[in-house]
A and B are shown apart, each in its own frame.
Chain A
Amino acid sequence: MSLPVVALEGAAVGYGGRALLANVDLEVGPGDFLAMVGPNGGGKTTLIRAMLGALPLLAGRVVRPRPVRVGYVPQREHVDPIWPFTAGEVVLMGRTPSLGPLRRPGRGDRAAARHALDRVGVGHLARAILGELSGGQRQRTLIARALVGDPELLVLDEPTNGMDPAAELATMDLIRDLHAGGQLAVVMVSHRLEAVANYARRLAFVDKDEGLFRVGSLEAMLTAEALGALYGRAVAVHEVGGRRVVVPVNGEVKR
């Protein structure tokens, strides 16, 4: 079995010394596609920040058997559209950590940025101002920035938040294509189970208010019991047109 890209062992995460989630064990391997699902404010973003080392753990440890190249896509709303950067300049920012201080991006970096934009289908928008792009185009630009460093681990925080169904599907299809067939590990946060139920290989349910952290295969997690624990009410999973949909139903919650 290959070494994990990143793992949390007995982790407690939170702020100001107060744990939001405790005893979290989580392993992400090469080629994995893990979706973290749960309500807004449920602790998902806190968990990935801890996993990336951006937030110190209150207990436990982060395990990275070797240095890993990381790509990160923040929530689109966290990126202020008033900054007059072109899409190409935004993507080039993804090379900043590997360049280090004092070195300017060179021809190779600019070529990598163009390639990343092409890969997500917005190569023609390299000179467009980010704030003037549509929500979907902006999201693709942020994904391109995450790809420009040739990551082994791609972390996306609510990449489809606020999108209409067509844009959501297009974005999820793009993430699936980026993941397909390679060793790229994808960790994605979403508060919409349906957005990820047709793409992820594994699901983690996260809800700090219920002290819930549960992780397993898609098949094991898309059951009435597991979903009841997440939503606190009875739900059913159906297949419609070859896609899984999750709907609330009447009846007692199975926990």
Chain B
Amino acid sequence: MSGLEEFLSAREIWQVPLAASALSGALLGALGIYVVLRRTVFVSAALTQLSTAGLVAALLVEERIHIESEHASEQLAVSIAVSVAGALLLGAFRPKRIPAEATVGATWVVASALVVLGSSRLVHAAHDLGGLVFGNAVAIPGSDLAAIAVVAAVCAIVHGLFGKELAFTSFDAETAQALGMRVQLWNAALFLTIGLAIPPAARALGALPVFAFLTLPAVGALALRARFRTSFALAAALGVVAAAGGYVLSWLLELPTGATMVVLAAVLAAPGALRGVRG
């Protein structure tokens, strides 16, 4: 039996992970347009790391109070709370006296250290750490897929209804404010969607692929000189192909799933990026 035949015959195993990967790729790819255009790529890295830290904290608490069964929804809730709080602080309300990149860098490095420290104290869940950080989408439960779908729906509604406000306040906050728009409110709404999207995707795919999907598909789409509206669809499509294609390739070639997705996302972004370099 060839690798492909073996893959196709194992549909019950991969259909949920593949769907979760593709949906995450589409969601994060589209949100990445704002992440890249607002020059907040490292905010998404810090948020991904914060989300992972929240997940590790929830696992630690579960182990410390001797909870035997896994409480996925509680873990996700803690992760979302930490990510959303971080998103609002880093993205929407920036301190005036400290450069933004310093705050973002500090958050990323502290969150990374907390992940390492927290996981060093984990006993039962320690073996999951590699998957949490670098991505291991081989086995994703249906509940994780449902969580990603709900968050994707929320994000689609917010961006569908308030797209023009989010675009204007992101593009030219000074003018929007001068014309009486509540810029901080719209920034908070935007970063709320980003903060919401990261934890369920990070829980399913791992931190590294999430950071990659918030960056590479958008870079690929924008470098192809897609217009603003088109770039969302293009980045989402690139995200789907990178996530789903990476999943299938990792299965067929027996490679680590998260890293394969990231490399494929980079390969897909390369033509646009090269065109951008040539001008």
Residue positions of A touching B, CB distance < 8 A: 15-16, 49, 52-54, 70, 72-74, 78-80, 82-86, 89-90, 93-94, 96-97, 99, 101-102, 104-105, 129, 145, 149, 155
Is the beta-carbon distance between A84 and B227 smaller than 8 angstroms? Answer: yes
Q: Please tell me if B172 contacts chain A, counting CB pairs below 8 Å.
A: yes
Closest partner residue, chain A, to B177 (CB atom) = A54
Besides A96-B168, A104-B164, 8 other A-B contacts (C-beta < 8 A): A15-B96, A72-B178, A73-B175, A74-B172, A74-B178, A84-B222, A84-B228, A99-B164
Place the interface of chain B in its size category.
20 to 34
Chain B's interface: helix, strand, loop or mixed, by majority? helix
The answer to whether B63 has its CB under 8 Å from any CB of chain A is no
- Determine the distance from Cα of A105 to Cα of B163 in the docked complex, in whole angstroms: 12
Tell which of A72, A78, A104 has the most Cβ of chain B within 10 Å: A72
Contact check: which of A70, A83, A90, A105 meets B164 at CB < 8 Å?
A105
Residues of B near A79 (CB, < 8 A) are 171-172
B residues less than 8 Å from A96 (CB atoms): 164-165, 168, 176, 179, 181
Chain B: CB-nearest residue to A127: B227
The answer, among A86, A93, A102, for a CB contact under 8 Å with B168, is: A93
Which B residues have a C-beta under 8 Å from some C-beta of A? 37, 39, 96, 161-162, 164-165, 167-168, 171-172, 174-181, 222, 225-228, 231
Give the interface centre of B172, B175, B176, B180 by most chain A CB atoms within 10 Å.
B175
For A105, the chain B residues whose CB sits under 8 A away are 164
Alpha-carbon separation in the docked complex, A145 to B174 (Å): 14
By the criterion CB–CB under 8 Å, are B165 and A101 in contact? yes
Cβ contacts under 8 Å, A104 to chain B: 164
Expressed in whole angstroms, the minimum distance between the Cβ of B153 and any Cβ of chain A is 18
Chain B positions within 8 Å of A72 at CB level: 174-175, 178-179
Q: Contact between A97 and B164 (Cβ–Cβ < 8 Å)?
A: no
A93 & B167 in contact (Cβ 8 Å cutoff): yes
Name the B residues within 8 Å of A129 (CB-CB): 225, 227
Residue from the list A16, A54, A145, A149 in contact with B96, Cβ < 8 A: A16
Task: State whether A101 touches B167 (Cβ < 8 A).
Answer: no
Would you mind naming 10 contact pairs between A and B with Cβ atoms under 8 Å apart? A49-B178, A70-B178, A74-B178, A83-B228, A84-B227, A85-B227, A90-B171, A93-B171, A93-B175, A96-B168
